[in-house]
Structure 1
Amino acid sequence: MGGSKEENLSSEAILELLRSPLEEWAGSPPEALIPVSLDRRAFSTVLIFKVLVGGKEHILVAKKVRHAEVNRHITESENQAKVEFEVLKELYGAFEGVKGCAVPEPVVLLPEEELLVVRYVKGELLTDKLRAARFYSGGRAFSELYAAYNLAGRWLRRLQQHTGVRACPSAPFKENIIERLKVRGDEISRSGSPLWGDSETRALLEKVKVWFREVEGDSLPMAGRHGDYGHWNIIVGGGGITVIDFLGYRLEPPLYDPIKVLLGIKALGDNPLVSKKRVKLLGDAFLEGYGLTTDENGVMGSICEAYHRFSIVYGIVTAVGGSRLDRFARVRTLKENAAMLRRMIRGEGAVEGQSLFNPVEWF
């Protein structure tokens, strides 16, 4: 897509790009633009900065899209800064009346630079609260974690209620999923991991194509999905949660996001310091908030489950660093998901074309 070819802009360069748009937003020239922190992530550069205008201080966040091979299917399809900004404009009002659930307020968009600005959200990433699932953590901390996951379920249900579930052709979703599986398979192959082979990737691709043939030509139920819905994109604070980072937002099967969340919760239990009882309670909290029922399963459940399990395998074999305990937990998670994928490839589900396990029984 369009945008500056320079993705590693300095804080000063980003603020200079924003000076005029921020003046238009504020209604008068900014008295000062003060960078606070710059974070170059895999798929975006994020700058937190302060704006002084009319004697008042605003804390804002600028996000510039970065392009990478693994997210090429997203960044080359649409201008993701524009997509995210428009989604936030729509959802900001939609969530205003939903207690405890929110999205950041959109402020400025520079589509030609693939750059957007939102208002800073004060709080703590849900990631940083996960220690409360450990055996020795206090009950109060776990209660807060439980409440956050319940709100995460409510937030997702509200998103899907707002966008509605509509009938859409299956072909675009099929092409997108197959492409994403291939890209991840190539990355796994390059990693040289002995825990998942190229022949298994090919077998998985064939299995997914079989599932898609069952619904070929049909219109499938689709709803708005966040795309990377997990504890790393949820801010907890002020008695509620705010969901951030809508890179890759699109319409896809309603099960896409909840299955991702459930698998993420389940993986917490692979850390030997984490209580599996507490992990189950977190899954229950999310399911209660979301309202997932057994009759929402089916072929799309199989496809979404297989895709997310494969993404977990990809994420782990390409991961670097971490403590010995982190690496131990990652290997356990990888082995479990690889084993489940092999069972899905062999068609060991209770009913062919359905997820191996119903989501409400994963815990």
Structure 2
Amino acid sequence: MEQTCRKRLSVIALLFFISGVGGCVSHQISHKEGEIQSVPVLDTHFETSLIIPVTIKSKNYKFIVDTGASLTVIDKKLAEKLTRPMRPDEIPPDYREALSGITAVNGVLEQQHYTLVKPVPFFIGSEEIRDNDVWIAADTTLFSQALGTEISGVIGIDTIRKLNWQVDNNKKRLLLTKDAPSARDWKRCTGYDDSYNRSPLLWLTYGNDDVGFRVDTGASGSYVGKEFIEFAKKQKGTLVLDNPVSRNGDIIGNYNTPLYILRGLKFSNMPLGELKVSENPNQLYAVGMDFLSRFTRYAFIPSRMMFCYDVSSIERYGLTSQRSLSIRYTGQHIEIFYNSDDNLKNTGLRNGDILLKINGTAYPPTQIDKVREILELTPKGKLTLTIQRETQRQEVHL
């Protein structure tokens, strides 16, 4: 590892990994006189994850935008209504070979977890997408549980590359256009590495070394390979174990990995301060939405392989976990779930408790990521949960 780190750290090749929204088509954006006017394809609100409305056969569905997914995914139950499995002779040879060993964040995606189905035309805002070669049909239940709303599919990099994606974190707006925005509209722009079936690759600096991280918009957190964890442990003061058992999930299912607080990373000479990273069992490296949320605005411009952004600082501290509680969205509620006995010991909570309020405030399921952050970071003794357990309502102080 030490010899590797003197150069750019290699990122393991990745074929496929995965981790309320309304939308509208806007009118023309005003530009300076003489400049080309760009008509947005979609202008929509988001909470934390990039969830967009997708129209298939005149019906609207919610899909998560996931740069970490090589192909577009549709929920298997929905696929049964809208399309059909692809025959072996319909699958292009290159796809057949590549899809023989689909890799998810947590392991290899076995055949029983997915079906290759024939794509049908669909709309993202005003833009019709009708040239995908292959779709994957899989169970999207875990995505819905994690994201706080019913998710019908995943927009993969095969579709993402067709449009330009501009995100305003302050206004919580996602703008999609066919025309690439001008670099003049942003404070900084940097190129990213790109290749077939891969997500964008940004280079961060750790000490004197450059480290390649994929951009995974389908993941709430960031992750690195075990080899990097072992290397960072030798660098004094840069790595702290935050939680020996952190719960994660992907298209295969839920899994547990250690969670660390990493210090010393920089992006474009800007220090990150602290970044939480989980140890990835497949030696994959990626920054998730926790990294992208630090920018005031940012854009991915596929035609130029350019990442543009506005920000004064991306430095963050105070990320040490005060407690570890897993929650999910189910039955229109946020529910305490997937916790071990050790996690719930001395809390007064049980798996299955419905979370009604936090410190007197009720949060809608679409803000489930915010709820996770509050549960995780609120100082001990400062957290009061109002829960529903069967027919009884009670308060729990943590």
Per the TM superposition, whether the score is higher than 0.5 is: no
Q: Which has the higher strand share?
A: 2
TM-score for the superposition, normalised by structure 2: 0.23
